[in-house]
Structure 1
């Protein structure tokens, strides 16, 4: 009888220990799945450094070419400055900047995710003729300096904005030193849009003033707003002179963190 009691006690101790170990292990289990989930979420981010494949859908609108690129059964939407492509073409794009929930007003369409790229690999130009990369940022030989202008002058005439802080494009170039780090207003036509570079949209504005030979006919604006080429807009932002982004890309004058109203 005593031997049976001892066996029961040993078994009870073993069962209790097992239950405690099981309960402790259960409380610790969520830690590893959470780490794995975080890893999975990170891995799910699109790899914009290798955006290549076959074009299965494309359209032009608002100065952009929109491309649906398929590779290994996966489809990715991308946008570049307007160019000639056809369904069935194989393409490889420069690394880009992904935007979620982007709405194209000219297409009347919202993309869940879209990558704004500098264009086909090897096509980006520091003078603004090759996509949305450095071309949207100007160069030491481009905007605001003597030589070839980044964006050709359009034959337009825009009425100057009203108010004490209102200036024409030419005046912003001429008075850039005294206007440095001051708020200004300028009206003009959007002649170029480079989206999602360094987390901003880079807009070229012209109003018909200035000298294209001196590069004073066009001014670049950084903004979170997304206007379309051809829009007549009023820009409010802060002027900076001699802004240097490195690698030879600089502006004699630029308007940053601007709000744009149509």
Structure 2
């Protein structure tokens, strides 16, 4: 009897040691291991499949797509989508452990995309996803867009994402975060939203903007490309995320005041267009 009890106890201990321990998504690290990112990231990949599940929230449509790469959650600007519908999605960028406060839900992996792909462009999508080669400005912009995979996940609250209508520069836009940064003091000072609203009037003029550095794509064409947000601007138009070129590197997550020349409607072709761009900026912390 005693021997039988020992055997039962030892069996129970073994089962306890090998039993899987559930891990809540909220407890997982915000930034996945590099191996996970390399395997699971779908940046610049056009997706296609049947819609298994869909819901709308805060101006966006979330849908679970049964694609060749597996079952993938995708977020696009609010669109009429039905369960069972076959849908092609334009290339976007991947976020891991992204929490949507409006849905009260955390997605282990979700692709933020500009919307449905209105044409079959597999070759163009593959080309856009390639790293920059050579010295062409188009190649540099492709690298800038590819840098979106290094963006930090959006903070909880506020708009869940900012998605454009093109697949070039829109692929580099950092989703809208809950940021509240006071406007810079002094002359020629504008908020991010005002830069977009008054872009035509400010074209060619020096502006000062204060905001949080959300992402840096470093040393492309000899410049660092900063994405800054201050909580203003319209995320549905990508007018919340101001792109700034500079020689300086303030570090991601820092609040800075930038001063540079604003360029409106900057179009480099191949889908790389900026409604507003601040060039050759100086930075104050």
**TM-score normalised according to structure 2 size:** 0.45
**TM-score normalised according to structure 1 size:** 0.48
Structure with greater strand percent:
1
